Amino acid sequence: MKNMLLLFFISCSVSAFAQKPIEKLLKKYNTESIPYVSAEELRRLQTHETVIILDSREVNEYAVSHIETARLVGYNDFSSEEISAEIQNKNTAIIVYCSLGIRSEEIGEKLKKSGFTNVKNLYGGIFEWKNAGYPVINSAGKETDTIHTYSKAWSKWLLKGEKVYD
């Protein structure tokens, strides 16, 4: 019994320690102007409710892998007018994500300024999604373990999967 408790304590401590650096990183870059949704919550929403998932990374990142129902909206060429034309109901549940949740916060802010009222940012982005063990697909629609990590420096946040960067 003591060994089981020790194992539980160690795994909780390791998990908590692993989360602190990403939390610190997100606090450095984000204002939390767009509320976060966890990977677990998005997975639940994805299977039980209607939610639109928007990928705010670039084409080369999306082509490597993305969350299955995600639509690429990009970052550099993002157009809130285009999204407004496609999604007429401004109360529609929208989740935005990128690699870690930094670029997606900016896209979420643009959506909010365009009148969307139910926008959330995937905490830790596609990295946390994959770290949680959830599937991603490639441009051919096949499940893959490969994740575009944006850069070598950012790749340290991806703990599961095969890392690819330009």
pLDDT in tens, 39-55: 999 999 988 778 999 99
* Rounded distance between C-alpha atoms, residue 147 and residue 66, angstroms: 8
- Separation of alpha carbons 121 and 42, rounded Å: 10
**At the topology level of CATH, where does 32-164 sit?**
Oxidized Rhodanese; domain 1 (3.40.250)
Is 26 in contact with 123 (CB distance < 8 Å)? yes
Residue 100, SS3 per DSSP: coil
Q: How confident is the model at residue 22 (pLDDT cuts 50, 70, 90)?
A: confident
Give the pLDDT mean for 5-29. Answer: 58
Residue 21 has, within 13 A of its CA and on its CB side, a CA count of 10
Structure tokens at 163: 């890392």
Confidence category of residue 20, pLDDT binned at 50, 70, 90: low
Q: How many helices (H) and strands (E) does the chain have?
A: 6, 9
Question: What span, in angstroms and rounded, lies between the C-alpha atoms of 75 and 107?
Answer: 7
Q: Report the sign of the C-alpha dihedral through residues 76, 74, 116, 67, in that order.
A: negative
The partner residues of 119 in beta bridges, in order of sequence, read: 94
Domain assignments of the chain as residue spans, ordered by start: 32-164
Q: Which pTM does this prediction carry? A: 0.84
The values of phi and psi at residue 47, to 5°, are -95, -15
Given a contact cutoff of 8 angstroms between Cβ atoms, the answer to whether 73 and 83 are in contact is yes
| pLDDT above 90 (res 28) | no
